Amino acid sequence: MTTKTAAEKALLKTKFFPFWLDNEAAPEPEAPLEENVQCDLLIVGAGFTGLWAAIHAKEANPQCDVVIIESECVAIGASGRPAAILSTSVMHGLDNSERLFPTEMDELERLGKENMDGFKKALVRYNIDCDIEWGGELTVAIGDGAIEDINGEYEIYKKYGHDAHFLDKAAVQKELNSPIFSAGMWSKKRSGTVHPAKLAWGLKRAALELGVRIYEYSPLLKSKHLKPGVLVTTPKGSVKANKVLLATNAFAAGSKKIKRRVSAIRDRIVVTEPLTDEQMAVIGWKNRQGIYDTRTQLNYMRLTSDNRILFGGRLGYFFNDNTDPVADKSAKNFLPLMTQFYKTFPSLANIKISHAWSGPIALTTRMAVHYQHYYNGDMIYAGGYSGFGVTASRFGARVGLEVLNKTDAPETKLEFASSLPGYIPPEPFRWLGAQLTMYALDTLDEKRGWRVPWVRLVEKMGFPVTPPV
């Protein structure tokens, strides 16, 4: 008989389903499309991008006839599965923004802050209760070697006018008592955490109230250019639309070509049972920030409104961009994440995991939203936020509509909106490359050898991975 490890015991009664979606507040799905309909704007996919796009389109022109088709139900994709740590950056963080578009940083930062303020106002306007907490975001250094990275992050946040604070070891451990944290950078304003499914369900209600027609369990099967307009077919109906916005994220539905630049990576999360008052007193975390760390395979963590710890960040890739991997519905693939959890929270060695799941990340070389044009621009794909889209998707959807409508909005002239991320090799090279890269990143903090030149090669392809010098 083999003895079970602490992690195996913790995962014994786990539900392999997103905690956020396991909620009685989930609305009934809208009926599927079972007729042939027409509209001005068809949106494919009812995650944050699709829902925000529908709301923006209606706000801009209440007469615009908007239809959404969704292959399953609202928020079943990434939008019902994130850690949902909110960030102002619309380009996957300030470092990434500076890496990609250094000359447009000021404008991108301004747009990011404007987007977050608009996000906040929209929640009030549509009366969306989504357990929002404005505790800020905290980046923590793991080990003394990473303090320099935190300093760098602090400098760049300060430079672009964020309410950033450098925390030394004592100060960061006062915020969250983990023995492995050696410093931190706390950006206090315009960031925090949200219940992502409640947000998506609230956006769905708002869109319906604005007159958007939503059809769930109605996947796009194929599309045809009508010159002008597009005909989209679902299993039991069709939509003839003047314009189509593909908000299909890592699922890349709508055109086979999307995947040339978008890869479906899985990101994994575990959620504990609620902490007792005593456990909360030991770890601290009174300010309830959303937290990222500096590990090469980054971990992130936050509290839920009932004081569970959500802990995530162990990437995986499944052959052919599989967006529903069976392997992520059992304990084995979550054990490495548990190892990091115990290192971070040694005082919680006996805690049980109530939920575990993985979700689709639309990875591109840029890790930020871009637009692919099809059918002379009558249909565009808007996506690629990677792990950073809860609020950026509102921005991505808004600019996506400007691009689709071929307006002169200044945002559409910015490089992120007018150019494309790099190609990603097809299978089987994609799978092989992903396995090697993830293994290299997993073990880079402890070992070097071939990993350093390999990661350098991946960096040359355009991905934001930097091997240590």
Ligand X SMILES: Cc1cc2nc3c(=O)[nH]c(=O)nc-3n(C[C@H](O)[C@H](O)[C@H](O)COP(=O)(O)OP(=O)(O)OC[C@H]3O[C@@H](n4cnc5c(N)ncnc54)[C@H](O)[C@@H]3O)c2cc1C
Residues that bind ligand X (CB under 6 A): 44-50, 69-72, 76-79, 81-85, 87, 219-220, 247-249, 251, 253, 267, 269, 312, 359-361, 383, 385, 387-390, 393
CB of 4 to ligand X, least distance (A): 26
CB of 450 to ligand X, least distance (A): 29
Amino acid occupying residue 432:
L
Amino acid occupying residue 174:
K
CB of 62 to ligand X, least distance (A): 23
CB of 316 to ligand X, least distance (A): 11
DSSP strand pairing (66-69 vs 213-215): parallel
From the number of C-beta atoms within 10 Å of its C-beta (0-12, 13-18, 19+), residue 63 rates as exposed
CB of 291 to ligand X, least distance (A): 10
- Three-state helix/strand/coil letters over 153-197: HHHHHHHCCCCEEEECHHHHHHHECCCCEEEEEEECCCCEECCHH
Nearer to ligand X, 285 or 454 (CB): 285
DSSP class of residue 27?
P
Give the integer Cα–Cα distance in Å for 236 and 69. Answer: 12
Collapsed DSSP state (helix, strand, coil) of residue 347: helix
Q: List Cα–Cα distances, 285 to 176, 203, 265, in angstroms.
A: 5, 30, 30
Give the integer Cα–Cα distance in Å for 441 and 157. Answer: 26
Nearer to ligand X, 251 or 431 (CB): 251
| CB distance 301 to 344 below 8 Å | yes
CB of 116 to ligand X, least distance (A): 11
CB of 111 to ligand X, least distance (A): 16
Alpha carbon 240 to chain centroid, angstroms: 30
Nearer to ligand X, 76 or 417 (CB): 76
CB of 11 to ligand X, least distance (A): 17
CB of 458 to ligand X, least distance (A): 21
Give the integer Cα–Cα distance in Å for 107 and 411. Answer: 9
CB of 431 to ligand X, least distance (A): 19
Nearer to ligand X, 90 or 440 (CB): 90
Nearer to ligand X, 45 or 202 (CB): 45
| CB distance 326 to 334 below 8 Å | no
Nearer to ligand X, 141 or 315 (CB): 315
Give the integer Cα–Cα distance in Å for 20 and 12. Answer: 20
Nearer to ligand X, 47 or 135 (CB): 47
For 182, residues 6+ apart whose C-beta sits below 8 A from its C-beta are: 141, 142, 143, 144, 146, 147, 169, 172
Nearer to ligand X, 126 or 217 (CB): 217
Nearer to ligand X, 174 or 189 (CB): 189
Nearer to ligand X, 184 or 219 (CB): 219
CB of 423 to ligand X, least distance (A): 21
Nearer to ligand X, 71 or 289 (CB): 71
DSSP codes joined into one string, 195-256:
-HHHHHHHHHHHHHHTT-EEESS----EEEE-SSSEEEEETTEEEEEEEEEE--GGG-TT-G
C-beta pairs of 437-442 under 8 Å, 24+ apart in sequence: 437/465, 438/297, 438/315, 438/316, 438/317, 441/296, 441/297, 441/315, 441/465, 442/296, 442/297, 442/336
